[in-house]
Amino acid sequence: MPSSRTPTQASVAIVLGPPLPRGTTSRGVTNVTRQPTHVGTVIASPRGNPQSGANVRGNQPPQRHLPPSAVRIRFALLASDAHACTRCPRMTPGSAVLGNRNGPLTARVVVVGEAPGRFGSHKSGVPFTGDQSGIYFERLLPHAGLTRRDIFIANAAQCNPRDDAGRNDKPSVAELRNCSSYLRGILDLLQPRLVVTLGRVALDALSLIEKHHIELATQVGTAVPWHGTHVVPLYHPSGRAMARRPFAQQAKDYARVKSILNSPPVPVPSQGRG
């Protein structure tokens, strides 16, 4: 069931940056969400219903090999819907960190973090910037042979969760479920070669999309088949995680990502997506 709010051409351009393809109208964009396709149904899930993303999608397969213009339009609608979402009471409306600053839609690697930090991406709109986690992430990324131009950064929760004292807090299970349709929409649109998770919360978010039994402690830095791609679990680059997994060790973990990317792609089970 489509959202009651019709995104306009201007709203799509604001979210994504580039304008809509010539000849595409706001009415045409709305029609994209009404097509009986996997990703189109995801972005049209009604707001306020925490389970809508899982229910409307069912087991429909995602569309493959969409033209770049269609990917841009569907991502713009997905981002617009995330910004308008009001499902989580302790999240600030309109604060979702999802848009053109997350990375290129052609990225072969999608990095999944936990949630925007109040001193970092919640303020800047750029994932992993402006706080200690962002500083560590910037230092670790080159060990994987990657730059921000090579990756798209998503989050398990699109907005910044805070406790009663206003401090950063871990997303609740309900909040992860509320954001699950957005994360799945991102992955099904981009269809990356690798999904790199940062921390346990990111792994929990993936399990809501498709159940897995990946253990961070024992499988860190290894490629595990999941949802038609491979997941490489890494530790979160926060100060607390550094106490358990020091920077030097995490740098070696990121180097394993580089090794995986430099190796021939490994086939994944055909039933992985859907």
Task: Please check whether residue 270 lies inside any domain of the structure.
Answer: no
Task: Please check whether residue 58 lies inside any domain of the structure.
Answer: yes
Per-residue pLDDT band at 257 (split at 50, 70, 90): very high
CATH at residue 124? 3.40.470.10
Residue 89 pLDDT > 80: yes
pLDDT tens-place string over residues 5-45:
333 333 333 333 333 333 333 333 333 333 333 333 333 33
Name the residue range of residue 215's domain: 9-261
Number of domains the chain is built from: 1
Task: Please check whether residue 87 lies inside any domain of the structure.
Answer: yes
DSSP codes of every residue in 56-109: HHTTPPPP-S--HHHHHHHHHHHHHHHHH----TTSPTT----SGGG--TT-SE
Task: Please check whether residue 1 lies inside any domain of the structure.
Answer: no
Residue 168 pLDDT > 70: yes
Task: Please check whether residue 250 lies inside any domain of the structure.
Answer: yes
The span from the CA of 218 to the CA of 20, in Å, is: 45
Task: Please check whether residue 273 lies inside any domain of the structure.
Answer: no
Task: Please check whether residue 274 lies inside any domain of the structure.
Answer: no
pLDDT tens-place string over residues 207-242:
999 999 999 999 999 999 999 999 999 999 988 899
The span from the CA of 97 to the CA of 126, in Å, is: 7
The per-residue pLDDT for 95 is: 76
What percent of the chain is modeled with pLDDT above 70?
Answer: 71
Task: Please check whether residue 4 lies inside any domain of the structure.
Answer: no
